């Protein structure tokens, strides 16, 4: 296991090591993807960022790594395959600080459906998703995320982790979800030319688990 992924001369610059090929969607200025790389090693093959300021930081931290731009316009059948896909999709329509439009109606958090389309095509061996703790609240959308992954042929486990759990001086609770191909559904089983989204999607609104302590793992599939 690698000890670090930074350049000693420039600690903010990512250094690739042996390990899986990682694709990064909606992870801001390299956070979730670098965290995954710190554990698994590997290299980031590409990322998707539309904000010009964040893109400038990513260009410096990930020199030579292509930016796919707006992922809604990306043809993922032509994107380099990856073994791990990270996605910290927008939380504005999920967060308690917003209007709680949710994944189905929210223009920003609804980007999850595009990420799910990418998963169906890329078929990574591991998907790592991050979002705010409100994702697991009633109508937060966790049920939609789990149902979409199940439909795509993935089993998932999730856990809430607070920043304070790892020594930070604030709570900042987040949901982290890991998904792998379900038994009998290898990562290469899907037909990329097949339907990339089905409507209606399975799952019942408001079925996200409630009443469990923070940090207790949950499982779908």
Query: Out of 26, 91, 160, 178, which one is annotated catalytic?
Result: 91
Q: How many residues does the chain have?
A: 221
Does the annotation count 91 as an active-site position?
A: yes
Task: Report helix, strand or coil for 150.
Answer: helix
Identify the residue whose tokens are 């607070």.
162
Cis preceding linkage at 109, omega within 30: no
CA distance 109 to 159: 20
126 beta partners: 84
Cβ atoms of residues 156 and 135 within 8 Å: no
Cβ atoms of residues 123 and 193 within 8 Å: no
Cβ atoms of residues 170 and 103 within 8 Å: no
Phi, psi of 27 (to 5 degrees): -115, 30
Catalytic center residues: 91
């Amino acid at each position: 296991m690698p000890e670090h992924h930074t350049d000693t001369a420039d600690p903010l610059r990512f250094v690739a090591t042996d390990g899986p090929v990682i694709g990064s969607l909606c992870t801001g200025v390299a956070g979730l993807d670098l965290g995954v790389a710190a554990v698994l090693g590997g290299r980031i093959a590409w990322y998707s960022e539309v904000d010009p300021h964040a893109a400038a930081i990513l260009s410096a931290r990930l020199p030579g790594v292509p930016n796919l731009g707006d992922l809604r316009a990306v043809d993922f059948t032509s994107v380099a395959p990856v073994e791990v896909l990270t996605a910290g999709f927008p939380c504005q329509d999920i967060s308690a600080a917003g209007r709680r439009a949710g994944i189905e109606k929210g223009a920003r958090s609804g980007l999850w459906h595009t990420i799910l389309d990418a998963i169906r095509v890329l078929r990574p061996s591991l998907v790592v998703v991050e979002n705010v703790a409100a994702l697991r609240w009633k109508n937060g959308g966790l049920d939609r995320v789990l149902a979409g992954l199940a439909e795509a042929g993935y089993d998932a486990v999730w856990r809430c982790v607070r920043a304070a759990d790892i020594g930070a001086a604030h709570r900042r609770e987040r949901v982290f979800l890991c998904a792998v191909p379900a038994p009998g559904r290898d990562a290469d089983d899907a037909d990329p030319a097949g339907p990339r989204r089905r409507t209606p999607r399975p799952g019942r609104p408001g079925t996200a688990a409630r009443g469990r302590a923070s940090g207790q793992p949950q499982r779908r599939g």
